[in-house]
Structure 1
């Protein structure tokens, strides 16, 4: 299962606090089947895996959960306030 870093859990919790319509992030597979998108979400879709960690929720669609099963999601916020994510291999 995809693991989340403390950075990502803090980002998700802050988004949920600041924008009430957002309760989670959703990671989904794009039409090409290999690219992923990350977007704010207010609910899980039918085939989503729900990851809850340290008060943060991330929904991962079925295909993406297969691709990310052995990965860890990290993130950060740059000086302009843009959120950036990175994937790494779980230890």
Structure 2
């Protein structure tokens, strides 16, 4: 199951709270039409008040993520990390879980 680092939890919660007042809002992670350079899934994120009907909802420490089918499969055994650079841009990293 997808897990989040403390940084990712804090950043996602901040992003969601700044962009919507909806109580059940979350960060939606979904696949994009173009594949990544290695042929793997290319994922995008956006804050949304509700999941799409087919989304898998993952809640970790009050942080809600909505994953489409491709994202759910790609992130099933991963760790989501996040950071903010000096200019305030957010970046996400997907890391392998250590067994």
TM-score (norm 1): 0.88
Which ranges in structure 1 are unaligned for 5 or more consecutive residues? none
- The answer for the alignment partner of 1:10 in structure 2 is 10
Unaligned runs of 5+ in 2: 36-40
Cα 1:19–1:32 change in 2 (3 A) is closer
Residues 16 and 27 of structure 2 are in contact (CA less than 8 Å); yes or no, is this contact kept in structure 1? no
Tell me the TM-score normalized by structure 2.
Answer: 0.82
Question: In 1, distance between residues paired with 2:2 and 2:19?
Answer: 24
Larger radius of gyration, structure 1 or 2?
A: 2
Partner of residue 79, structure 2: 72
Root-mean-square deviation over aligned CA pairs: 1.5
Name segments (4+ residues, structure 1) moved above 6 Å.
none
Describe the superposition over 1:10-31 as per-residue Cα deviations: whole angstroms up to 9, x where unpaired. 1121123323256211110111
